[in-house]
C-alpha cells in the first residue's frame, strides 16, 4: 500500500516576540503580520512481509512501513528584514521514518 500526497499548509495568526525598545532583556509578544506557506510532497508506504516472503504462518503479522516528506517551498512572509531570508525556520525541510510491526497469537495462556 502506497500513498503520495501533494500538500500546502498555511500558518496564520502566529505569535512571535520583539525586543522592547531600550531593553536588551525584555521582549513583548506580538502577532506576526505574515503567513508561513509550506508546500511539499509526502509518501507513505506499508508492506506485508509474510506475504512478500511467502511464509504461511496462521494468525501472525509482520509489516514494515515508512513515511517521508519533502518541503520544496517554505515561505515566511513575516520574516524580519534582518533575517536576510524569507525561508521559514523551525520547520524541517525533509524527514524520513521507517519501522516494523511483529504480532503473533498467545499460546497456553502465556
pLDDT computed for residue 110 by the predictor = 58
Domain boundaries, the chain: 2-103
pLDDT computed for residue 81 by the predictor = 84
Q: Which long-range contacts (CB under 8 A, 24 or more apart) does 99-104 make?
A: 99/64, 99/65, 99/66, 100/49, 100/62, 100/63, 100/64, 100/65, 101/61, 101/62, 101/63, 101/65, 102/61, 102/62, 103/60, 103/61, 103/62, 104/57, 104/59, 104/60, 104/61
Q: What is the pLDDT of residues 61-74, one digit of tens each?
A: 999 999 999 999 99
pLDDT computed for residue 104 by the predictor = 87
Enumerate residue ranges in the chain where pLDDT < 70: 108-110
Amino acid at each position: 500500500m502506497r500513498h503520495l500526497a501533494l500538500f500546502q499548509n498555511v500558518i496564520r495568526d502566529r505569535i512571535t516576540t520583539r525586543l522592547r525598545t531600550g531593553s536588551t532583556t525584555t521582549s513583548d509578544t506580538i502577532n506576526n503580520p505574515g503567513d508561513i506557506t509550506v508546500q511539499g510532497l509526502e509518501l507513505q508506504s506499508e508492506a506485508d512481509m509474510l506475504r512478500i516472503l511467502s511464509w504461511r504462518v496462521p494468525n501472525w503479522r509482520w509489516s514494515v512501513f515508512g513515511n517521508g516528506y519533502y518541503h520544496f517551498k517554505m515561505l515566511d512572509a513575516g520574516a524580519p528584514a534582518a533575517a536576510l531570508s524569507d525561508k521559514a525556520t523551525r520547520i524541517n525541510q525533509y524527514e524520513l521514518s521507517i519501522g516494523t510491526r511483529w504480532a503473533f497469537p498467545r499460546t497456553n495462556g502465556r
